[in-house]
A = this chain, B = another copy of it.
């Protein structure tokens, strides 16, 4: 897929966050454990990182900063984050240093209590709630949804758990929350379970048990924690010294009469692109899901190629599956420079293309004179796909057949993934043939929705493919999206 994870600071898109959260309770060095979890979730957000911890005396500690976990949360900072419970956050956004205000966790104090909230997702009714809160006298110091939740909790007045449940009953959208209060950690997941959140158990150095929550299971593995279960859709649970206890179950919000307007469930795009290949989603390793999508894609759209190559790193599994299914050699036709991207380097005047070559290189000896099948996980805007096709041709590829291991991405996500506005999505309103022409491929095909569903094997949020938003989006749901969509149906294999 073509969505760059390291955008230049000049990128002007409106930010919507894709984040990672983690929490640990019952660990002598909870902040340190959370740091390791965040390190494993770093791919979900590189803009800012933060941890809030609390000790048994009810004191709370917070450190946040712009940058990677390894830059923001050094030994020096961890020493100032004592206590047996902690929550943490990594955040991905398009803006620079001036947005430190938006770093999480967000710590609020009220009535002698504190609440530190870290959040992954997006509220579709945030601006509505915000307006109502502001009319009631609330002030906002950030532009995050998280602050909205904090206000809703504070307004309630009762005990924290009840107040949080009440607050979550008012919000609509997708969220995975970890919340630190003086009693421990609360975790919550939206009623449809769009954003992931898993629970685990860890043996601490002192032989006791600690409890862990994290956006992906790879963070549990990084801690040496055993996966226990996922937080269920709509579940609010308490993690403390006694383990995990369900506090409440939320019904899907914004679904009057119980009629689900569209298929809901865990975000399909997590499986396709966002999650780390070693995490478990839909009961499978993400690598396994992607490889199987590659196999299905091969069955659906075999390509007349001499070799198969993937775009590192997210589409390698799909490319392997594609190659295996067709018995084609799987080759490393593209190599990524791991050192480019973190810091934005200004290309010398007149040499903009240098920066493309510096990040990805086509291996001439592999592709020269060959018919290359390029497997990618998705196409969002098409700009990167076009560049890669060109790279392969420049390196001598005779033909380039592009196969995408997901359906056309045609609708913006409103649930926490920052992609692009609808008019920027190359698949929005454009037939496959137009896209093929735009990216300069010899052929192009997408995995059908039906086959993707077969691989995932359970309910999933597919709004970016179908436009059927399972949680109604304020004024954002296009009419068209609620009707059968020709292109998409045609995809069904």
**Considering the chains assembled together, what is the distance between the CA atoms of A17 and B100 in angstroms?**
23
Contact B221 A357 (CB under 8 A): yes
If A69-B339, A284-B365, A339-B42 touch, whether A224 touches B357 (CB-CB below 8 Å) is yes
Contact A134 B154 (CB under 8 A): yes
**Considering the chains assembled together, what is the distance between the CA atoms of A332 and B312 in angstroms?**
13
Residue A479 at the B interface, CB < 8 A? no
Give the chain B neighbours of A154 by CB distance below 8 A: 134, 137-139
Contact B108 A338 (CB under 8 A): no
**Considering the chains assembled together, what is the distance between the CA atoms of A345 and B211 in angstroms?**
23
Which among B115, B137, B157, B221 is the interface contact of A361 at CB below 8 angstroms? B221
Residue A272 at the B interface, CB < 8 A? no
Interface string of A313-357 (1 = CB under 8 A from B): 100110010001000011110010111101101101111011001
Residue A405 at the B interface, CB < 8 A? no
Contact B109 A354 (CB under 8 A): no
Contact B287 A222 (CB under 8 A): no
Residue A288 at the B interface, CB < 8 A? yes
Contact B345 A39 (CB under 8 A): yes
**Considering the chains assembled together, what is the distance between the CA atoms of A351 and B139 in angstroms?**
37
- CB-nearest residue of chain B to A136: B137
Size class of the A contact interface (CB-based, 8 Å):
35 or more
Contact A342 B221 (CB under 8 A): no
Residue A428 at the B interface, CB < 8 A? no
Give the chain B neighbours of A291 by CB distance below 8 A: 331-332
Interface string of A111-154 (1 = CB under 8 A from B): 11001000000000000000100111111110000000011011
Which among B62, B343, B354 is the interface contact of A36 at CB below 8 angstroms? B354
Residue A98 at the B interface, CB < 8 A? yes
Residue A33 at the B interface, CB < 8 A? yes
Known contacts A39-B358, A139-B153, A276-B335; can you find 14 more A-B pairs with CB under 8 A? A74-B343, A75-B345, A108-B141, A109-B134, A109-B139, A139-B150, A222-B337, A224-B354, A224-B357, A278-B332, A291-B331, A316-B332, A320-B331, A320-B332
